[in-house]
A and B are shown apart, each in its own frame.
Chain A
């Protein structure tokens, strides 16, 4: 249950990180993912990263894949129009 949203780690200091989701930046904790690295895409729930996203798997199974791709290529907002 529970909403969890993918976002890319753009800053990391200990277990405090800043993640980027479509240009929005949120301060979160990576306490639950000690192996998280800068550039990883993680799933964020209630201010904590709970899993790293396996991008290959995501590409095959996830409609959010397009969003993942955008996070990856560092494109920020500006794209208009519907999903």
Chain B
């Protein structure tokens, strides 16, 4: 069987030779670079930007399963990195794409994931301008690992940072919590359940840029609640700003199916990952306007004001939840691994 006829990735595909060249030219580039740009392949891409400050971020993606309702590792790889730029107040400009493939990986699957990447990047108008491909031996990687890095330029007028956060600021979340994490769990061996849930994987830069253009400095800080969920982000904000945070349980937007699935597994929705949501800390007088802008966007329809920044705490801030029955409890930084439990 000729090497080139294989529908599986071979070690040679990462070898820098003919097979790799064909993989890049025939499989990767056409799918990832949707549209008409025909930039020649160079060692480093050149991107012209009119700015003296660049925002620069990177993230690696190792999700299992690779495909899930609402997206795949490719969409995640684009949206996740774009959202980090968005959270920094930047408009994304370009992405890099590094693939680490396990020998034996299905070419069909790879093509499908690359198409997702192309679609996601294309929809945003953010090109993938450079990349890398490696193939490792069987079992040295879990199918496919992806790293993306992104550069962006800050929206004029955006000034974000922990030091900008003040007591009285509003805590806003752009939509329902826990959708991504619960969807992924439902596809995990040993835990499978049928569900209408889908990952919320989405790029939020168009929305965040619109918010920043409208209210500028009134946005103090943004972060996307990925691994560790809302609880992790709020604890990071409380710790970074040294202010307490108070949120209201009755204000948290959570789909009934997410809550029910979390109940069944004994998990806390606040610790569950999101991939298409942003937490914004906003000056109180601008909160209503920010909410309106979010809700006018399909990705922010269920945006909600969930709480407020409190006073500075003696030992760094504490995050507290006001419960449905009017009690209060501390929302702790998650351990980092939520295990399903029966007791």
Residues in A lying within 8 Å of B, measured CB to CB: 1-3, 5, 7, 21-27, 44-46, 67, 70, 76-77, 79-83
Contacts and interface: CB of A to CB of B under 8 A. Distances in A.
A83 B323 CA distance: 12
Nearest to B263: A5
A3 B302 contact: no
Given A79-B256, A80-B302, A82-B252, A2 B343 contact: yes
A56 to B, nearest CB: 22
Given A80-B255, A82-B304, A22 B342 contact: no
Given A23-B257, A26-B264, A82-B252, A1 B193 contact: no
19 contacts: A3-B263, A3-B342, A5-B260, A5-B264, A22-B256, A24-B196, A25-B195, A26-B193, A76-B257, A77-B196, A79-B256, A80-B253, A80-B301, A81-B253, A82-B249, A82-B253, A82-B254, A83-B250, A83-B324
A7 B321 CA distance: 27
A60 to B, nearest CB: 18
A2 B257 contact: no
- Mostly, the A contact residues are loop
Nearest to A77: B257
Interface of B: 176, 186, 193-197, 249-257, 259-261, 263-264, 266, 301-302, 304, 324, 341-343
Nearest to B301: A80
Given A24-B193, A24-B257, A82 B251 contact: yes
Contact of B259 (A1, A26, A27, A83): A83
A26 B340 CA distance: 15
A22 B259 contact: yes
Given A3-B266, A5-B260, A25-B195, A79 B255 contact: yes
A21 B264 contact: yes
Contacts of A80: 176, 253, 255, 301-302
A7 B186 CA distance: 17
Most interface-central of A2, A23, A25, A67 (chain B CB within 10 A): A23
A1 B343 contact: yes
Contacts of B197: 23-24, 77
B70 to A, nearest CB: 14
A45 B261 CA distance: 13
Nearest to A44: B264
Nearest to A66: B256
Given A24-B186, A25-B194, A82-B250, 17 more contacts: A3-B263, A5-B263, A23-B257, A23-B260, A24-B195, A24-B196, A24-B260, A24-B261, A67-B256, A67-B260, A76-B257, A80-B253, A80-B255, A80-B302, A82-B252, A82-B254, A83-B256
Nearest to B175: A80
B256 to A, nearest CB: 4
Nearest to B177: A82
A41 B166 CA distance: 48
Contacts of A25: 193-195
A23 B264 contact: no
B195 to A, nearest CB: 5
